[in-house]
Chain A
């Protein structure tokens, strides 16, 4: 069976959905709304790229929503205090790196299970935010929205940054030693260690990268509105993990591509707009997304059973 079978099936499903929309609801493709929709999906895609790396290295990070909120608020506060946008962006990325490093330290070097560690850090960041911001909306100064450009330019920048990131990361996973370390660690950490690869350092690095990407996602989200909510990242972890799993990243580690993650994200994110354009009640969104995830996981289960001797 083709190595990219999973990516191809998701692509086929996405193409079918788009074709159906093109035939029955052509206004879905009207330029401005289409671009706006795509732009709004980019922050989650950035986070999904990060979580894909985490899952490929056979770990999980459910604190990414909380990291995202924290980075957004830190960037917002920095910008609101009058510092330039560049400083705010660096603050968000730096905060993400630190939060990721904490997770990485606990998981890689203290060998604690990542699901428990990130559950704990998720709660800590969420409650810290609640204490700090008291749930207030944070108004952003002018010049932040769309990086101070007009809307279309801003949207182009957001989409471009995301796709450049995706292309670079996908290339790196295939062609850099680091990518190989991640796959090897996720498939068989002991074998990797015997081959002289340092699985602990690899795991730590992946968590730090995850934090930085959560920060970048927060920035790309921040520039899309005049204000930010301190809980803007809530539920992001599930969205990102679902995109990765639907896109063919094996939850057991070691397998998956970032192109699959892109396809998974686009498929899941377009369920809701498609419903609207087919004049169906939006309540079906979660159910359909759940169904898509189940089908994806079942396909994996069937395939791995077939491969067993």
Chain B
């Protein structure tokens, strides 16, 4: 077998975060090589290294046996590397043939577009992957799986020998999946190498020849798929000791603060969620990306209001139709991705911290700078925020400190229920454990905390109970005494995985 792609001891860091450590990976001709790992294990970073979007800090990269020193996205394309993303990146207003034509190698005088040629080639490519769609249809009119097929045709048209598929089945129905599998097998037949990323283990067993598992940025080994069971695979993904750095749970859970019964929202794909959160309790929400955890938080915060089921706060039924109403009910939501909507980087720390308090105010209310700065100074001290003062702009802080500002904004509203969405994502280790201490302290003071996290050790270490979501539904609630990485991961993946535990 000829090697199409080979990476040896790749390193990549983002600031203090080491995304990849000594990762090696190889892809052979006609091979489907699955890449597996938890959220944040380093899969996306590895893909970006292969497509030239990220330059590795160390390690070597070979394409078809030749070493490539500086890989850029355009060079990667030239070398026959193509990536098919979950959300196809096509031009919606052009036809399929035009989309494919754009990716074909340009030849001839002034790269003139030969419409007839282009169309013939498009028909050819579509035929080759067995896609029964008209090349003259506008991409806008296609379904998601059809667009993915067009992406694959584009990749082949550009002469790709290495095709990366990033969770290609995430939005496909069963039938469409089978069509895609057929295409993947045909690619394999024609000698193309496929890097296949998926969270669905059954797909990996159905399609892949070998599987490489990443964990915390390190490769834990490459194995032939035949040699593994599902349970062994899960073990490889999560198999680590949960360190004891997490602050101990000391609080006694009090009265029920939030009670959900059969809650759902058809627009965001969440349904049948039933559970309680008590005062003084941290409920961790585990699940894969796209399992509906953030969507549930957005329902509770009134961003996408529920259309089914019931929400009770402190025993009385409420309906929450906007963030304003949610804040009025004593709900606080620290969103995911603080850089986008959590902290306003241009605004000062003090202004950021008082922002959610303002929503309760009449627009004509006089904001007293002194009181505002006093409040901010208090939070800066209590939460240990490293900044030169309340006037410092949010953008001047490190990620961990920005997250603390985001938390402070919500504590200022004196909430009863605090929802945290990935509270320590992209935060360095030191700040991470500080944030954990803060969260535990808040629970001890009687706050009900709902913490969404894709960081499995964090969920295990912090939670009193763990609610696991999958496919928009709450599938299991596990008491922290009975929870370990294996049971939580198995619930999130939807395999029982108990055979070898």
Contacts and interface: CB of A to CB of B under 8 A. Distances in A.
Interface string B331-367: 0010100001111101100010011101111111111
Contacts of B323: 193-196
Contact of B359 (A178, A183, A196, A255): A196
Interface string A234-259: 00000000000000000000110000
Nearest to B351: A180
B372 to A, nearest CB: 10
B358 A190 contact: no
B358 A177 contact: yes
Given A177-B358, A187-B344, A187-B347, A196 B324 contact: yes
A176 B341 contact: no
B327 A188 contact: no
Interface in A145-198: 175-178, 180-181, 183-184, 187-188, 190-198
Contact of A180 (B324, B326, B333, B355): B355
A205 interface: yes
B363 A205 contact: yes
Interface in A197-247: 197-198, 205
Given A180-B351, A184-B355, A198-B324, A175 B367 contact: yes
Contact of B347 (A184, A193, A197, A205): A184
Contacts of B327: 196
Contact of B341 (A178, A194, A255): A194
A177 B361 contact: yes
A93 to B, nearest CB: 19
Given A184-B355, A195-B409, A176 B324 contact: no
Nearest to B365: A177
A254 B393 CA distance: 13
A187 B343 CA distance: 11
B359 to A, nearest CB: 3
Interface size class of A (residues with CB under 8 A): 20 to 34
B369 interface: yes
B352 to A, nearest CB: 9
B365 A255 contact: no
Contacts of A188: 340-341, 344
Contacts of B340: 188, 190-191
Main secondary structure of the interface of A (DSSP, over half): helix
B256 interface: no
B333 A194 contact: yes
Given A187-B347, A190-B340, A198-B324, A176 B364 contact: yes
Interface in B343-399: 343-344, 346-347, 351, 354-356, 358-369
A176 B366 contact: yes
Interface size class of B (residues with CB under 8 A): 20 to 34
Contacts of A178: 363-364
B303 interface: yes
B320 to A, nearest CB: 12
B392 to A, nearest CB: 11
Given A196-B324, A196-B327, A187 B363 contact: no
Contact of A255 (B346, B356, B361): B346
Given A195-B359, A255-B346, A190 B341 contact: yes
B363 A175 contact: no
Nearest to A307: B395
A109 B180 CA distance: 43
A176 B344 contact: no
Contacts of B341: 188, 190-191, 194
Interface in A280-308: none
Given A176-B364, A177-B363, A190-B341, A195 B347 contact: no
A181 B342 contact: no
A191 B344 contact: yes
Contacts of B366: 175-176
Contacts of A193: 303, 323
Contacts of A176: 363-367
Interface in B282-330: 301, 303, 322-324, 326-327
Contacts of A197: 355, 358-359
Contact of A175 (B301, B356, B369): B369
B349 to A, nearest CB: 14
A254 B359 contact: no
Contacts of B324: 196, 198
Interface string B435-468: 0000000000000000000000000000000000
Nearest to B323: A196
A254 B363 contact: no
A91 B433 CA distance: 63
Contact of B367 (A177, A195, A198, A254): A177
Contacts of B369: 175
B346 A254 contact: yes
B295 to A, nearest CB: 15
B369 to A, nearest CB: 7
Contacts of A183: 347, 351
Contacts of B365: 176-177
A187 B346 contact: yes
Contacts of B367: 175-177, 180
Which residue among A190, A191, A192, A193 has the maximum number of chain B CB atoms within 10 Å of its CB? Answer: A191
A19 to B, nearest CB: 33
A175 B365 CA distance: 8
Which residue among B346, B356, B360 has the maximum number of chain A CB atoms within 10 Å of its CB? Answer: B346
Contacts of A255: 346
Nearest to A193: B323
A250 to B, nearest CB: 9
A194 B347 contact: no
B288 to A, nearest CB: 24
18 contacts: A175-B367, A177-B358, A177-B363, A177-B364, A177-B365, A177-B367, A178-B363, A180-B351, A190-B340, A191-B341, A192-B355, A193-B323, A195-B355, A195-B356, A196-B323, A197-B355, A197-B358, A198-B324
Interface of A: 175-178, 180-181, 183-184, 187-188, 190-198, 205, 254-255
Interface of B: 301, 303, 322-324, 326-327, 333, 335, 340-344, 346-347, 351, 354-356, 358-369, 409
Interchain residue pairs A-B with the least CB separation, the first 9: A196-B359, A178-B363, A191-B341, A195-B355, A196-B327, A195-B356, A177-B361, A177-B365, A196-B324
Given A196-B360, A198-B324, 18 more contacts: A175-B366, A176-B364, A177-B362, A177-B364, A180-B354, A180-B358, A180-B367, A187-B346, A187-B347, A188-B340, A191-B340, A194-B335, A194-B341, A195-B323, A195-B356, A195-B359, A195-B409, A196-B358
